[in-house]
Chains A and B, each alone.
Chain A
């Protein structure tokens, strides 16, 4: 199946620091999405990106759709304790109406107060 490589796998940062994570693929995607998952919960959509080069913000979160359409980046500024969780990237590719949404393996973020 389609493999999305997400890095880093885990991060330990001090409260107030900025965070960067990325996702790369060998295939082109039409849409990139970033999700956050809290323990025992389902993933929650943070940001959706629809075209190459697009830069979109959601509060302290900023994500970019890579120019090659094979990668995406997520930045979190001034981290706070509630940012703790697992962040997943997902790429979507339309094919005759089929639902082709592929997920990365996740970045586990720990924020130290």
Chain B
């Protein structure tokens, strides 16, 4: 199993650009989540999904969209990138929403 995979690993955007961060898991997990990690703030939940077709907001959802058309994939969309979205983004999956398995992360810089 590859576990949780994320692409790209690094990305630089200009303010106002849009992009999609990809996340896939091959563990047949129902739960998938997106977190952002900023210095001194730990990980904060952006959006999550409890199954295909179901998504909900986390702690910091503004500026991000998600969709869950399949069990395996959970892309995160930045509609109009802002410097405040410079961060490291982690995708995670789990069977129950508790024991999350994390991907390797995407380091995003918005200029």
Contacts and interface: CB of A to CB of B under 8 A. Distances in A.
Q: Which of B40, B99, B100 has the most C-beta atoms of chain A within 10 angstroms of its own C-beta?
A: B100
Nearest to A97: B50
A41 B105 contact: yes
A101 interface: yes
A104 B40 CA distance: 9
Contacts of B40: 105
Contact of B100 (A4, A45, A97): A45
Contacts of A42: 4, 90, 92, 102-105
Tell me what chain A mostly uses at the interface: helix, strand, loop, or mixed. strand
B102 A44 contact: yes
Interface of B: 4, 31, 33, 35, 40-45, 48, 50, 56, 58-60, 90, 92, 97-105
Given A100-B97, A101-B98, A104-B42, 11 more contacts: A6-B42, A41-B104, A42-B4, A43-B100, A44-B102, A48-B99, A90-B43, A92-B98, A98-B56, A99-B50, A105-B40
